Structure 1
Amino acid sequence: MVLLLPLLLVSMDVSVLYFALPSISRELDPSATQQLWIIDVYAFALAGLLITMGSLGDRIGRRKLLMFGAAAFGIASVTAAYATSAEMLIASRALLGIGGATLMPSTMGLVRNMFRDDKQRGQAIGIWSGAMAGGIALGSVLSGIMLEHLWWGSVFLINVPAMVLLLTLTPLLVPEFKDPAPGKFDLLSVPLSMGAVLPVVYGLKEFAADGFSVKSTVCVAVGLVLGTVFVRRQLTRRDAMISRELFRPGRGFGAAISLNTIAAFAMMGSAYFTTQYLQSVLDMSTMRAALWSVAPSLAVGAAAPTATAVAQKVNRAYVIAAGFAIGAAGYALLALAGTDSLWTVLAGAAVIGMGIVTVMALVSDMALASAPAEKAGSAASLLETGQEFGGALGMAVLGSIGTAVYRSDMPASAPATARETLGAAVAGADRALAGIAQEAFVHGMQYAAVGGTLILVIAAVLAAGMLRGPAAAAKVAARAQGAQGAEGDGVEAAPARVAEPAM
C-alpha cells in the first residue's frame, strides 16, 4: 500500500492538468509554445530519465532513491501550485518529471525484491498495474472536482500529504535493496540515453499532432542514431548502465519489453479517440466526459489481479495472448461505433483496457522474474521506457490513420482549420459542417480501430509463440531465486520485524 502512493500520484500527474489549463492560461498568460511545454515537459523529463534512475537505484539503493524522489516530487508540487509565471510552472513540471522518474522504477523494483514468492509477486504486480491505469483516469476527474471549488494550483497540492505519508512510512515498512557489486556509474551513458529517448518521443508526438514533417522526421532520426551509439556502449562496457545479463537467450526479457511496448501502443492509441469522441462527437462537457471515462476503469482495475491468478495455473504465454485477443475484441467494438454510440465506445474502451492491463501485468511480472534481483531497478526502468515509446507510437500511428481519413472525408470547401481538427470544426458556428466533421472523425476512428485490431491479433500470435518457453523458464528461475536468502537480493541488514512482513 505504501508503494502504491507514489504510483498513483505519478500516473495522476499525467492527466491532472487537462482541466486546469483554462485557469492557468487566464492567470499566467502563457504563449502557445509555453502552454504546450507546461503539458509535455513532465512526460519528457519522466521518459528521458527512467533508464538513468533505474540504474542509479540499483547502485545507491531503491528505497533511498524512492525517498529522494518523493521529497523532490513534494517540493516541486508546492512550487508548481504557487507558480507566478509560465516559466516557473514549466520548471516545476520538469522537476516533477525528474521525481517521477525516480519513483516509477523504484516502486516496481522494490516489489520485485520484497515478494520473492512467485504467486505473491504476481499478485502484487497485478495490483501495481491496476493502480497505475486507475491513477490516470482518477487524475482528470479529481482535478475537475477540485477546480470547481479551489484555484488551479490545488491540483498539485494533492501530492503533498501523500508524499509526507510516504516519507514517514517507507523507512518503517520497506526494506532497502541494492546491487551488492554495482560497478562504476557510467556518466556518459546518461546524456546518451536521454538523447536516444527524448527526440524519438518528441518526434512521435509531433507526428501525432501535426502529421508528417521534416522536423518530426529529423527528431526521430537523431534519436535512433544516438540510440544506436547508446546500445553499442552498453554492449562493450563492463560497467554498462544496462546489464547484458538481462538479455541472455532464453530469459524472454527482450520479448517481454517488446510486447509491453505494443500493449502501451494499443492503450494510448484508443485513448486518443475515445476522449475526443466523448467531448467533440457526443458534445459532452469536459467534466461529464471525464466522469464517463472513469466507468471503463472499474472493469480494468479487476483485470490484472484476475489475470495473475489465472497465470498461476496456465502457462502465462497463453494468458498474455488471450489479453491481446481481448484487446483486439475491444478495438473491433470501436470499429462498430457510430456518431451516437456511447455504450459501444465505453464497452470497447473497457474491453481494450482489460486486455491490455492483463498483458502489462503479466509481461512486467515475467520480465522482473527473469531479471537478476540486483538489477530489478534497471529492468523496471526499461519496461517503463518501452511504455513511453509505445504510447507515443500508438498516438502517432493510429492517430495518423484517423486524421488521414478525417481530412479525406471533409469537403474541400470547408475552412482550413475545420479540415485540420474535429475540435475546430465543432467550435465553429456552422452546425451542418460540425455534423459532417463528426461523421468524418468516427469514420477515421473506425479505420484506426481496424488497424488496432489487426496489430493486437498479430501480437497475440507472437506472444503465444515467443513466450511459451521463456514463461516456463521464468517461473522456475523465480522459484529458485525465491529460495535464496536476503543476501542474494542485495538487501541491507535490517531487523527481522521490518523485513519479514514484506517477504
Structure 2
Amino acid sequence: MTQGTEGKATRREWIGLGVLMLPALIVSMDNTILFLATPFISAELNPSGSQLLWILDSYAFILGGLLITMGTLGDRIGRRRLLMTGGLAFAAASALGAFSTSAEMLIVARLLMGVAGATLAPSTLSLIRNMFHDPQERTTAIGAWTAAFGGGALVGPLLGGLLLERFWWGSVFLINVPVMLLLLVLAPLLLPEYRDPRPGRYDLLSAVLSLIAVLGVIYGIKRLGEDGFGVEAAVAIAAGAVAGIVFWVRQRRPQPLLDTSLFRERGFSVPLVANTISLFAMVGIGLFTAQYLQLVLGMQPFTAALWSIVSVVGMVVATSLAPQLVRAVPHGVVMAAGLAIAAAGFAVITQAQVDSGPALVVIGSAVTSLGLGMVITLASDLMVSAAPPERAGGASAISETGTELGGALGIAVLGTIGNAIYRSRLEAPPGVPEEAVDAASTTLGAAAETAAGLPAEAGGALLRAAREVFVDGMHVAAISVGGLVLVTALVTLSLLRRTKAGA
C-alpha cells in the first residue's frame, strides 16, 4: 500500500486531484447528458414512454444500487485498481450505447454503464481522503471534486447540445471513451494505491440485498407514477423494503459489508440526508428545465445548451465560495443558507410560463445551483472527514449512494409526477381528433411529433395545449422541491449549527 504523506499536499497530489475529477465529471454528466438527446432518441429508436424513462434513469438506478458494493470492494482490492478497471468497462459500455440499434439495446448499455460507474464514483472521493490530510486542503479538494461531480449534471445538457448540433445522438456516449482512456494512462503515474490492511471476509449476500433494496423501491415508485397503485408496484416496493431491512440487520454481524456505526454520528447522517435531497431537487428539476428550453420555447439543442452555462457558473461559484465561508462559519450554517437560496431559485422557476421566454427558468436554475452547490460540497466534506482512512471507501460509497439515488429519484419521482399531470390535464383542443391527443399524451416530445403531422391550425392548438400542461407539471415539481429544501434547511441548521469538518 502507498499513501500520501501526512501534512500538506504536494504538487503531485494536486495534479492527481485533476485526474480524479475526470471520472467524477463523466459519471455525473451521464445522468443528464441525455436530456437534450431525448427527442432524437425518440425519433430514431421509437421507445415507449416507459422505455424512455428507463433509458434516462436506469443508469443512475443501477449505479446507486451498486455503490456500496463497489466502495467496500475498493477497500479490499485497492481503490486505484478498481478505478482503472471501472474506467475500461465504462469506455466499452459507452461505445455499446453509442451504436445501439434499439431501445432495448440502449437500456442494456445504460445498465452496464451504471455497473462500471459504480466502480468509479466511490474510488475518486475515497482517494481524496487518503491524498489530502490537512482539513482545509481536503475541503478545497472536495470542493473541486464537487464542482466536477455536481457540475457534471449541469454540463451534461451543455455538452449534449454541442454534440447534437454536429453529430448523431450516439456521440453523447462516445465522448466518454477518450476521457476514460486518458484516465487509464494517468492514474498509475499520479494516484496512490490504498487498501484496507484488514478487510475481513466479503459479504456477497449483503451486496445482493442492497441492490435488491434499491432497485425494488425505485421500480415500485416508477410503476406507481406510470400506472397508479397496483399489485406490481406494491410487490416491488415491499420486496425492496424487506431486502433493506434484512440488509440492515445483517450489518450487525461481525465483519459487515457496511459499517453502520457511521450513521450514529450526526456529522455523517445529517449531511447524507441534505446531500441526497439536494441532488433529488437539482437533477429532478433539470429534467423539466431542459425540456422547457427545447420543447416549450422551441430552442435548438445548441442554443438551449448555451443558456445552461449560467447554471454551470452558479455551481462553480458555489464550490469555490463554500470552502472559504467555512473557515469562519460552521458547515451546518452555510449548508442551511445554501438550501434557503435554492428554495428561492425554485420559487423563480414557478413563475415561468409558455410565453415568458428563458430568463426566469435560467435565473432560477442558476440560483438553485449556487445554493445546492454549497450544500453538496460541504456535505461531502463532512461525511468523508467523519470516517477514518481505512473506512473511506465505504463512507464515500454511502455518500455517493445518496447522491446517485437522489438524482435517480428526482428523475423518477418528479418525472412521474410531471407525466401524471401531463396525461391527466391534456385535453383535445377544438378541431383536433381524439386519436391525435392519445398519441400526444405520452410525452411532450410525442406531442411535437404528432402536431407536425396535423394541419397547421390543429397542430398549433395541440402543441400549445401540450406545452401549457407540461409547464403546469414543472410548476408542481418546483413547488414540491422548494418546500422540501426549506424543511431540510431548518433541520440542518438545528442539528449542525456548530459542526465543522475535522473538528
Compared CA separation, residues 391 and 143, structure 1 to 2 (3 A)? closer
Q: State the TM-score, normalizing by the size of structure 1.
A: 0.85
Aligned residue number for residue 130 of structure 2:
113
1:440–1:16 CA distance, 2 compared to 1 (3 A): closer
- Corresponding residue for residue 483 of structure 1: none
Matched, 1:254 2:269: yes
SS in 1 for 2:256: coil
> 1:43-63: per-residue Cα shift (whole Å, max 9, x none)?
233122111000101111111
Match of 1:384 among 384, 387, 400: 400
Matched, 1:285 2:285: no
> Alpha carbons of 1:403 and 1:143: their partners in 2 closer, same or farther (altered >3 Å)?
closer
Report SS of the residue matched to 1:288. helix
Give the letter aligned to residue 310 of structure 2: A
Write the deviation string for residues 285-314 of structure 1: whole angstroms up to 9, x where unpaired: 334323322332122222112112101210
Q: Does the aligned pair in 1 maintain the 2:61–2:405 contact within 8 Å?
A: no
Correspondence for 1:294: 309
Asked whether 1:272 is paired with 2:287, we answer: yes
Count of matched residue pairs: 472
Is this contact kept in 1: 2:280–2:410, CA < 8 A? yes
Partner of 1:63: 80
- Which structure 1 residue ranges, 5 or more long, are not aligned? 477-503
**By how many angstroms is 1:265 displaced?**
1.9
Q: Which residue of 1 aligns with 2:181?
A: 164
Contact 1:16 1:143 survives alignment (8 Å): yes
Do structure 1's residue 314 and structure 2's residue 324 form an aligned pair? Answer: no
Q: 1:193 maps to what in 2?
A: 210
* Cα 1:27–1:406 shift into 2, 3 Å: closer
Query: Which residue in 2 is equivalent to 1:494?
Result: none
- Whether 2:102 is the aligned partner of 1:99: answer no
Q: In structure 2, the residue corresponding to 1:332 is in which secondary structure?
A: helix
Shift, 1:338, TM fit = 2.3
Distance 2:440 2:488 in 1: 36
How far 1:145 moved relative to its partner?
3.3
Partner of 2:9: none
Change in 2 beyond 3 A, CA 1:149/1:389: closer
AA partner of residue 292 (structure 2)? Y
**Partners of 1:384 and 1:425 in 2: CA distance:** 36
Question: 2 CA distance for matches of 1:404 and 1:81?
Answer: 30
SS of the aligned residue for 1:387 comes to helix
Shift of 1:138: 2.9
Equivalent of residue 234 in structure 1, options 248, 251, 254: 251
Aligned to 2:12: none
**2:274 paired with 1:245:** no
1:435 is aligned with what amino acid?
A: R
Do 1:80 and 1:92's aligned partners in 2 also have CA atoms closer than 8 Å? yes
1:455 aligned partner, one-letter code: L
Q: Which residue of 2 aligns with 1:342?
A: 358
User: Is 1:375 the equivalent of 2:391?
Assistant: yes
| Contact map agreement 1:204 1:392 (CA 8 A) in 2 | no
Q: CA deviation at 1:187?
A: 1.1
Deviation for aligned residue 1:64: 1.4
Q: Is the 8 A contact 1:77 1:156 kept in 2?
A: yes
In 2, distance between residues paired with 1:143 and 1:78?
Answer: 16
Is residue 447 from structure 1 mapped to residue 476 from structure 2 by the alignment? yes
DSSP-derived class of the 1:252 partner = helix
Percent identity over the alignment?
Answer: 50
* 1:128-143 equivalences in 2 (<5 Å): 128-143=145-160
The SS at the match of 2:351 is coil
Partner amino acid, structure 1, of 2:119: T
The equivalent of 1:435 in structure 2 is: 464
Contact 1:367/1:379 (<8 A) preserved? yes
CA distance change for structure 1 residues 389 and 209 in 2, over 3 Å: closer, same or farther? farther
Cα shift at 1:447: 3.5
CA contact 1:133–1:297 (8 Å) conserved in 2: no
User: Paired residue for 2:502?
Assistant: 475
Q: Where in structure 2 are the equivalents of 1:481-500 lying within 5 Å? A: none
Distance 1:424 1:27, change over 3 A: closer
14-23 or 270-279, which moves further after superposition? 14-23
- Structure 2 unmatched ranges of 5 or more: 1-17
SS of corresponding position for 2:198: coil
| Counterpart for residue 14 of structure 2 | none
CA contact (8 A) 1:7 1:103 kept: yes
* Residues 1:465 and 2:494 are matched in the alignment: yes
CA distance in 1, matches of 2:416, 2:182: 43
What CA distance in whole angstroms lies between the structure 2 residues aligned with 1:316 and 1:95?
37
> C-alpha distance in 1, partners of 2:179/2:187?
12
Q: Is the 1:207–1:396 Cα contact (8 Å) retained in structure 2? A: no
- Provide the secondary structure at the position in 2 that maps to 1:178: coil
Distance 1:420 1:88 in 2: 21
Give the stretch that moved more between structures: 396-405 or 359-368.
Answer: 396-405
Structure 1 272/53 Cα, relative in aligned 2: closer, same or farther at 3 Å? same
1:47 aligns with 2:76: no
Please tell me the residue identity of whatever aligns with 1:348: G
Task: State the secondary structure of the residue aligned to 1:242.
Answer: coil
Range moving further from structure 2, 456-465 or 218-227: 218-227
